[in-house]
Amino acid sequence: MYVTIILFTLLAITGLASIIGIFRVKDLLHSIVLLSILFISISLVYLTLSQPLLAALQLLVMVGGVSTYLFIGTASQGFSRFKHTNVALLLVGALIIFGVMIYPVASNASQYSQASSNTFSVSSQSQFLAADAVLFYIIALLLFGIGLGAIVMYKKIGAGKWR
Amino acid sequence: MALTPIFFLGLSFAIFSLGIAGIMSSRHAVIMVLSSEIGLVAAMLLSVSTFYFGTGGNLLGLLFTIWGIASAEAMALIVIYRYLGKAEMDLDVRKLSKLRG
């Protein structure tokens, strides 16, 4: 029971930190790597909801599709030539929007906790990390590392030597 | 203590608010598209958690729609980035008004 809460907290911290990092770094390629980390952490959050199929689909579509498009788009010419984000404005705006969104939910928090006690007792909490999903994640992370390594080698060695 | 819907609502609201605030506070066209991807991810997380804690229903249609929007956005971003990048544009949205005409 506590394992899922700890895992969820770690994933939430990872996701929110990677979002802040997207707006902090100057290299757009690093922003896209951080966006991929957000996609992976969100697909792992689906596993805490016992939805391995949706997690695998999320990994396939977002990390395999969208991140690959973005990598291809920005791999060769990555750096932003100007300061692109006002981080203070980002944090203040996010806090205001978050407060406006969470206020009606937090004022009725008891209803939500009652709703959870009906469903979680019958759901398969202990099987949130199915064996097939673990294999799938290992393969996906290996492929992701291979892609990143290829880009790093391409940048280090340089394209000119291969022509 | 178990995972209640409040956890998922809070996380998805936080991610969504950061995405919307990113669109507001950024000047770079690529970062703005990445922010909208963040908002779409938050919408997916909210719909999956609502599906799990609620009465259920057909979720995959909604998710495929959001995935389609996200990948279409990424492909549009490639076109914008490659062609405007080749034209030595800065992708500063404050300067994009020069593109008129």
Single-letter code of the amino acid located at A59: L
Which residue from B minimizes the CA distance to A118? B53
Q: Do residue B3 and residue A84 have CB atoms under 8 angstroms apart?
A: no
**A73-93, pLDDT tens digit by residue?**
776 666 777 788 888 999 999
Say if CB A8 and CB A16 are below 8 A apart.
no
Closest approach of chain A CAs to the CA of B100, in angstroms?
Answer: 22
Question: What secondary structure does DSSP assign to B52-91, as a single string?
Answer: HHS-----HHHHHHHHHHHHHHHHHHHHHHHHHHHTT---
Q: Do residue A82 and residue B26 have CB atoms under 8 angstroms apart?
A: no
**pLDDT for res B74:** 84
pLDDT(B100) > 60: no
**B72-92, pLDDT tens digit by residue?**
888 888 777 777 766 666 677
**pLDDT for res A81:** 72
**pLDDT for res B55:** 66
Q: Do residue B21 and residue A112 have CB atoms under 8 angstroms apart?
A: no
Q: How far is CA B82 from CA A26, A78, B1, B28, in A?
A: 18, 11, 50, 14
Longest distance between any two alpha carbons in chain A, whole Å: 66
Q: Give the closest of A39, A77, A98 to B14, CB-based.
A: A98
Q: Do residue A112 and residue B44 have CB atoms under 8 angstroms apart?
A: no
Domain boundaries along the sequence of chain B: 5-99
Classified as helix, coil or strand, A159 is coil
Please give the CATH number for the structural domain made up of B5-99. 1.10.287.3510
**A96-143, pLDDT tens digit by residue?**
999 999 888 888 777 776 655 444 444 444 455 566 677 778 888 888
**B4-52, pLDDT tens digit by residue?**
888 889 999 999 999 999 999 988 888 888 899 999 999 989 988 888 8
User: Mean pLDDT, to the nearest integer, of A40-55?
Assistant: 87
